Amino acid sequence: MVPEPRSSTAAQVLVASNRGPVSYSVGEDGELAAKRGGGGLVSGLSAIGDEADALWVCAALGEGDREAVRRGVSEPGVRMLDVDADAGEGVHAAAYNGIANSVLWFVHHMLYQTPLEPAFGPEFRAQWAAYETYNRAFAEALAAEAAPGAAVLVQDYHLTLVPGMLRELRDDLRIGHFSHTPWAPADYFRMLPDDVAEQVLRGMLGADRLGFLTGRWADNFTECCVRLLGGTSGTRIGVHGLGADADFLRERSRRDDVEERMRALREQIGEGRKTIVRVDRTELSKNIVRGLHAYRQLLEDRPEWRERVVHVAFAYPSRQDLAVYRDYTAEVSRVADAINSAFGTEGWTPVVLHVKDDFARSLAAYRLADVALVNPIRDGMNLVAKEVPVVSDEGCALVLSREAGAYEELAEDAIAVNPYDISATADALHSALGMAPEERAERTKRLAAAATALPPTQWFLDQLHALTGGPS
């Protein structure tokens, strides 16, 4: 039996994700302040706003969000769920940190040190029960808010069970799910307990259509289904390679605050020196430490680059509530300091490391970069690889891991590296630094064209139309 939508203003298009388009903070006066986010989903929902009633269902992530839910405060088109208030204290943390970020993320990015981990025992089972509860809360909210025949676009590894749960509640809905991460090869995916691996796949296959960032990740998912379930049960599978938002990036990168940060960075780098730029969160999969070791190897093997190049490394702390991430962030700083101690001179600091998030400074570095280093162990896409060519002032050589999803589109004009091979990455940096300006500029033009082929708004609308049979 299909439940009736709970209001007469039921939504025709719904998005579900752990993080929503708005977050709240509580001021000293007790007043709530809302901060609106950006990105492809926000742009996409704005684009269809005139066509349909749209709703974003998301989780309350901080105390400000939870206070907003308690007070009944919300932004138009957003429903925020305080899962802990409804399902019990600690459910969100167990689902988000315990399962999504410490198990599913590790599986899909192949991050486990397998002699020691994973070890799935009673603690995992308790966390998995919380993950089920968390997903069920989303499914029930979507079922209550969706108009008959509505389109629901579920996002990412936090919510793999939602499509199947929602299908049981509302068989009339058109359900899509998009994976923003890689998908693990079948043999690695099967490290999960058998019943959990099957539950994840069947949850995903509750959707009418599944989306992935590259054909490689889609093929891995299909292989998992064939190996574990015998097939994909008729669920359609598509590929949508999210691109950079060229108009936004070019406009934003020319504002005064970016110009100011460019001046400061030039002063830190020094006159006439080349720059190797990386911009990442201190996420384990981003491979920042090996990138620093490769830079050190470059300075050891090619002494001619000493005092002629600076590695501008922006490593913004990520998931610091998890000990392994805190340790990794500390290691990034330690290795950078060691390089500066070993090679630095009075007038030259080999590594300029910034750990405080600053988007304007990141754009300034994009514009200044002679070389961009993007060497993840594994990445669903990696938009930095796509953004740098779009805003580069003089052209930028891209050193790119073959394990980044972006490699599928940018390989022809990038310098490809095995992310585990420090010596080869050092050689790639040498080649990139020595690339002739004309070649660098031509490659950058082609990289920018490929990087912007499917901008965020179109990326979202393509998925919606593929699900609903709308315009192509």
Where is average pLDDT lowest: 19-23, 90-94, 234-238, 319-323?
319-323
Distance CA 136, CA 91 (A): 12
Cβ-count burial 169-198 (b if 16+ within 10 Å, e if not): bbeebbbbbbbbbbbbbbebbebbeeebbe
Reported as a pLDDT band with limits 50, 70 and 90, residue 52 is low
Distance CA 61, CA 63 (A): 7
Reported as a pLDDT band with limits 50, 70 and 90, residue 250 is very high
- pLDDT over threshold 80, residue 51: no
The answer to whether the predicted template modeling score (pTM) of the entire model surpasses 0.95 is no
Q: Which two tokens stand for residue 157?
A: 């590894």
pLDDT digits (tens, 9 = 90+) for 120-166: 999 999 999 999 999 999 999 999 999 999 999 999 999 999 999 99
pLDDT digits (tens, 9 = 90+) for 55-76: 999 999 989 999 999 999 988 9
| Cβ–Cβ < 8 Å for 121, 161 | no
DSSP state at residue 96? I
pLDDT of residue 231: 97
pLDDT of residue 2: 42
Contacts of 14 (CB under 8 A, 6+ apart): 54, 55, 56, 57, 142, 145, 146, 150, 151, 152, 153
Size of the chain, expressed as the number of residues it contains: 472
If you average pLDDT over residues 379-386, what whole number do you get? 96
Give the ranges where 253-309 is alpha helix by DSSP (H).
256-269, 288-301
Using CB atoms within 10 Å of the CB of residue 327, give its burial: 0 to 12 exposed, 13 to 18 middle, 19+ buried: exposed
If you average pLDDT over residues 450-467, what whole number do you get? 95
